[in-house]
Amino acid sequence: MTHSIAILGASGYTGAELVRLIAGHPSFEINALSADRKAGQTMAEVFPHLRHLDLPALVKIEEIDFSQIDLCFCALPHKTSQAVISSLPRDLKIVDLSADFRLDDPEVYAEWYGHPHYAKELAPEAVYGLPEFYRDQIRTTKLVANPGCYPTAVLLGLVPGIQAGQLLTEDIIIDAKSGVSGAGRGLKENLLFCEVSEGIHPYSVASHRHAPEIEQEVAKAAGLDDGVFVNFTPHLMPMNRGELCTCYVKMADGVTVDDLRHTYIERFRDEPFVHLTPKDVVPSTRQVRGSNHCFVNIYQDRVPGRAIIVSALDNLVRGSSGEAIHNMNLMFNLPETTGLTQAPMFP
C-alpha cells in the first residue's frame, strides 16, 4: 500500500532532505509540496540536484487538498507551525520539524521563543519524537514533535547513563558544534561564506533554545519533575553539514567508564541507528555524513569521577529529516529502517 504525504516548507534544507530520502521509500509518494516565496516554482528550479525526480510543483499551503494526504511533514519556521497545524484535519498524521511542540510547558515555550503558544490545546497530544526512547508512544500518536538536532545528539549520549543511575544530572557541560546548514537557508549576513569560512563561531551563549529541550528530557530520564540545568554552548563550524557534541558529566559513586560502556552496549544493541564505537574510535562527523546513524563513545576524564561522552550525527538527516522519516515509519507500523538504509558518504 502506498501512502500520500505533503511536505510544508519544502524549499528549505530539511524539506529538500525529506524529498531526497522519501524518493527511495517504497511505501510513500509525495502528493504536495508547499513553499512561501517560491510557490509556483518547481523543485528542479529550487534544488537542481532533485530535477530527476517526478515531483509536484511548489504551492501555497492553502492550495493543498489535505483530504488526499495521509501524513504531513511541517518543515516550517517556529511559531508558523502552530497556526498551520491547528488548522489541519484532526485525523491527519503530522510530524512537526519545528520547535513548536517539543516543550511540554507552554510557559517555558513562551519564555524561550518570545511569544505565547498559539495551539495550547494540541500540545498535550504531541509526542517527543526521539524513537529510541518514545517509539511506543510514537506508534499511536497523530502528532510527533521532531527533536532538535543538538538535543538528538546530546540525549543519545546522555539518557542511557542517566536512566541507569550511572550519570548525575548536576554539572553537565555540553560543547556542541554544527555545520552551517543547521541555521537554515535564509539569507543572513553572518552566514555568508566570508563570514563563516576559516573560523569557528560560538553563538547563543547561555541562551540557545535547545537548552530547555535538553533539560526537559534529562529531567524525565532521571525521574525528576524539574530542577535540571545544563551548561550548553553551540558553535558554528565552516562546513555544510554535521554535528558533534562533547558532554562532560559526573559519574555516580563507584561507577566506571567500563560500567557505562556495558550499559550503552546493552541499551543500543538492537537499535538500528545508534552505535557505540570501539574504544579506540573517536566519533566524527565524517563517519556519519549523509546517513541516519549516530556514533557515540565514552571516555574517562582526567578529572576523577567524570566521563566524556562524544556523539556525532548528520544534522540534516539524523538530526532532522531522517529522524522525521523514522517517526513516520513508526506511525504507520512499518519497519523502522525503511527508506533510511543509506550508508554514510565518505570522503
Provide the annotated active-site residues. Answer: 149
Evaluate the CA torsion angle 335, 213, 173, 208 in order and state its sign: positive
List Cα–Cα distances, 326 to 10, 18, 114, 174, 332, in angstroms. 18, 11, 30, 26, 10
Alpha helices in the chain (DSSP H): 13-22, 43-46, 80-87, 106-113, 131-140, 149-163, 193-196, 210-222, 257-268, 322-331
Whether the upstream peptide bond of residue 347 has omega within 30° of 0, thus cis, is yes
Q: Return the C-alpha cell found at 9.
A: 516548507
Report the C-alpha gap between 115 and 263 in whole angstroms: 41
Report the C-alpha gap between 130 and 144 in whole angstroms: 9
> Residue 82: which residues within 8 A CB-CB, separation 6 or more?
100, 117, 118, 119, 122
> Residue 332: which residues within 8 A CB-CB, separation 6 or more?
3, 27, 71, 93
Nearest to 234 by CA among 174, 188, 159, 305: 174
End-to-end CA distance of the chain: give it in Å, rounded: 37
Q: Position of cell 550503552?
A: 264
Sheet of 201-202, strand order = 201-202, 230-236, 172-178, 243-250, 306-313, 294-300, 274-276
DSSP string for 186-246: S--GGGSHHHHTT--EE-STTT-THHHHHHHHHHHHHT-SS---EEEEEEE-SSSS-EEEE
Report the C-alpha gap between 95 and 18 in whole angstroms: 12
